[in-house]
């Protein structure tokens, strides 16, 4: 028996990278998927792949930095399923011009909206379903930049992801009595398209040594399948070849 039969899972940022891998992993456990992102084409293609493998998935596109768009996805979930068991709050983005000497108000607003405001908006839509059910799991793709401060991710992204981690812990504090669990996943480097926005290009050799999207998808599947009395509050997951440590060893400091 697959562990998520009859469960409804909403994955944001499902059109690529970690979100796509999480959707495939949850569908493999029998969950019915709602796939969100701004571009409709990759969501439709992923829904087709899940259906071809015997699963069930709907594309419900939208910009998660827009509260009306997020509310619209919530209405879709209500009308089609009338329940929501799992939110994978995963959409996020960074900008090339991320260092303080290049940051602009527009860049700051874009990064905070894409990583932090969006995460809050999706939680506000997910919680009413879960409170009613007295059951539900929220899994947020934060980042190692949400736990430690380092230059590579830039100030706006680092601050936003720290906010996502704080948001996740606050959910457990307030909602644990409603049977709701929240997990902040803090990955180090994962080989996904977001790396194309790095100020310093990332080689294929380096990408091959990083975590792969399926590694995070499998972690999300594991967390989503845990029995209701277990709450994983936070997970740090990095590649063994951790480029931050490798660089520190090279400097011998």
The residues binding ligand NAP (CB under 6 A) are 12-13, 15-19, 37-39, 63-65, 90-93, 114-115, 118, 141, 143, 187, 189-190, 192-194
Least distance between ligand NAP and beta carbon 23 (Å): 11
Instruction: Kindly report the three-state secondary structure assignment for every residue of the chain.
Output: CCCCCCCEEEEECCCCHHHHHHHHHHHHCCCEEEEECCCHHHHHHHHHHHHHCCCEEEECCCCCCCHHHHHHHHHHHHHHCCCCCEEEECCCCCCCCCCCCCCCHHHHHHHHHHHHHHHHHHHHHHHHHHHHHCCEEEEEECCHHHCCCCHHHCHHHHHHHHHHHHHHHHHHHHHHHHCEEEEEEEECCECCHHHHHCCCCCCHHHHHHCECHHHHHHHHHHHHCCCCCCCCCEEEECCCCCHHHHHHHHHCC
Which one, 4 or 114, has the nearer CB to ligand NAP?
A: 114
Which one, 177 or 203, has the nearer CB to ligand NAP?
A: 203
Least distance between ligand NAP and beta carbon 59 (Å): 11
CA distances from 163 to 108, 129, 157 (A): 14, 23, 10
Interior CA angle at 12 toward 9 and 63, to 5°? 135
Which one, 118 or 182, has the nearer CB to ligand NAP?
A: 118
Which one, 19 or 136, has the nearer CB to ligand NAP?
A: 19
Which one, 66 or 178, has the nearer CB to ligand NAP?
A: 66
Least distance between ligand NAP and beta carbon 129 (Å): 20
Catalytic: 222? no
Picking from 216, 198, 107, the residue whose alpha carbon sits closest to that of residue 153 is 198
Please pick, among 121, 157, 222, 245, the residue that the annotation labels catalytic: 157
Least distance between ligand NAP and beta carbon 153 (Å): 8
Least distance between ligand NAP and beta carbon 191 (Å): 7
The residues carrying an active-site annotation are 157
């Amino acid at each position: 028996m697959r562990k998520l039969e009859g469960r409804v899972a909403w994955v944001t940022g499902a059109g690529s990278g970690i979100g796509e891998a999480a959707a495939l992993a949850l569908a493999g456990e029998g969950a019915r998927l709602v796939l969100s992102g701004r571009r409709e084409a990759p969501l439709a293609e992923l829904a087709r792949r899940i259906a071809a493998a015997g699963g069930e998935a709907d594309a419900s596109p939208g910009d998660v930095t827009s509260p009306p768009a997020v509310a619209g996805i919530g209405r879709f979930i209500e009308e089609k399923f009338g329940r929501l068991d799992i939110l994978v709050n995963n959409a996020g983005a960074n900008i090339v011009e991320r260092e303080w000497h290049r940051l602009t108000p527009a860049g700051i607003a874009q990064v905070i909206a894409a990583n932090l405001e969006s995460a809050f908006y999706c939680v506000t839509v997910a919680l009413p379903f879960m409170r009613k059910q007295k059951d539900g799991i929220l899994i947020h793709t934060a980042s190692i930049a949400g736990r430690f401060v380092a230059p590579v991710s830039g100030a706006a992204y680092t601050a936003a992801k720290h906010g996502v981690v704080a948001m996740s812990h606050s959910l457990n504090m307030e909602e644990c009595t409603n049977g709701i669990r929240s997990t902040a996943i803090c990955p180090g480097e994962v080989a996904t398209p977001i790396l194309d926005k790095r100020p310093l290009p990332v080689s294929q050799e380096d990408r091959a040594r990083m975590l792969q999207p399926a590694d995070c998808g499998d972690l999300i599947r594991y967390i989503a399948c845990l029995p209701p009395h277990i709450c994983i509050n936070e997970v740090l997951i990095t590649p063994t070849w951790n480029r931050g440590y490798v660089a520190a060893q090279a400097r011998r400091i």
